[in-house]
Structure 1
Amino acid sequence: MTALPPRATRVLNTAGDAPVDTVRLDYAARLLRRKRLVGQGGLEFLVDLEQVTSLDHGAGLCLEDGRIVAVAAADEPLVAITGQALARLAWHIGNRHTPCEIHSDRLVIQRDPVIERMLTGLGADLRPFMGPFRPEGGAYGHGRTMGHSHGEHAHG
């Protein structure tokens, strides 16, 4: 009989100083509830959380036996956005509910040809690159926005 892999049932804000392994996940894969994962060091485990959770880079998955597996943001295709009117460009990105990483001198989004054409048309300079994606969370809490509501109002 094959032993079941250990289960991770809790998420910690940090993996701490001595995680037993690290799992690298892109932005989409860091949104999960139940999934079998294998760390870079070969540790196989099952994530079994109570609800769908957005894992941040640097978080820890706590296994039932107390060991911690670190979560790291994996490299993925991104584009750095610069331009004269960065706040205006950020508004257009947000208006399309596109996750965005915000820096003082640039914005970063996942590669999307439609959004990239729009931004180029607005005068943005784009530089594609590979890197970890760590966008801003939603305005009403930590983590990613899980959809949104305008209450009684709809998009016009």
Structure 2
Amino acid sequence: MDLPACRDIRRTGHWSEADDRVTLSYDDRFLRRKRLITVQDKAFLVDLAHTTSLEHGDAFQLEDGRLIECIAADEDLLEVTGPDLTRLAWHIGNRHTPCQIEENRLLIQRDHVIQDMLSQIGATLREVVEPFTPEGGAYGHGRTHGHAH
């Protein structure tokens, strides 16, 4: 049986109503070709021209016209706070670690090496479980593979 295919992504704000949803982790939202299962237990094939970074609220446009909303899954994260959040963010970025930047906290994926480094420079750390939507790359939408301009 042929699976319905997705060859196009609709970005948040450029579509209206989803026919179904799929919940994906941050790492799983970076894809080109993959079989996915929706929350209604329906399979479809993502077959994009290029590897693409999806954000929470984007939608897979199936060839038959249906829209499958992409939901950011709850993940094991590390909440980073402290008196000098800018300095902590610099150290995280210097290690090319994906980081969700909020007004009073940073969120990163759990990593004991980064956790130890942040502890040593005065961060307050707390393990949390919630969706992870880090900042995109400076050179394009979402994650990028290089510094081409």
Give the structure-2-normalised TM-score: 0.94
Deviations 1:41-89 (A, max 9, x none): 1121000000110111100000001110000000111011000111000
Shift of 1:5: 1.1
Shift of 1:148: 4.9
Which 4+ residue blocks in structure 1 deviate beyond 3 angstroms?
none
Greater C-alpha radius of gyration? 1
Residue 75 in structure 1 maps to residue 57 in structure 2: no
| Unaligned 5+ runs, structure 2 | none
Shift of 1:146: 2.6
Shift of 1:92: 0.3
Match of 1:13 among 11, 14, 20: 11
Q: Secondary structure at the match of 1:29?
A: helix
CA distance in 2, matches of 1:105, 1:146: 29
Q: Secondary structure at the match of 2:69?
A: strand
CA distance in 1, matches of 2:105, 2:144: 21
Bigger mean CA offset, 77-86 vs 140-149? 140-149
Deviations 1:1-34 (A, max 9, x none): xx21100110000373321110000011001000
CA distance in 1, matches of 2:43, 2:86: 43
Q: In the alignment, which residue of structure 1 is the partner of 2:42?
A: 43
Shift of 1:147: 4.7
Percent identity among equivalent residues? 54
CA distance in 2, matches of 1:103, 1:34: 32
CA distance in 1, matches of 2:127, 2:40: 30
Residue correspondence of structure 1 range 1-156 to structure 2 within 5 A: 3-14=1-12, 16-148=15-147
Give the structure-1-normalised TM-score: 0.90
CA distance in 2, matches of 1:16, 1:129: 31
CA distance in 2, matches of 1:23, 1:118: 35
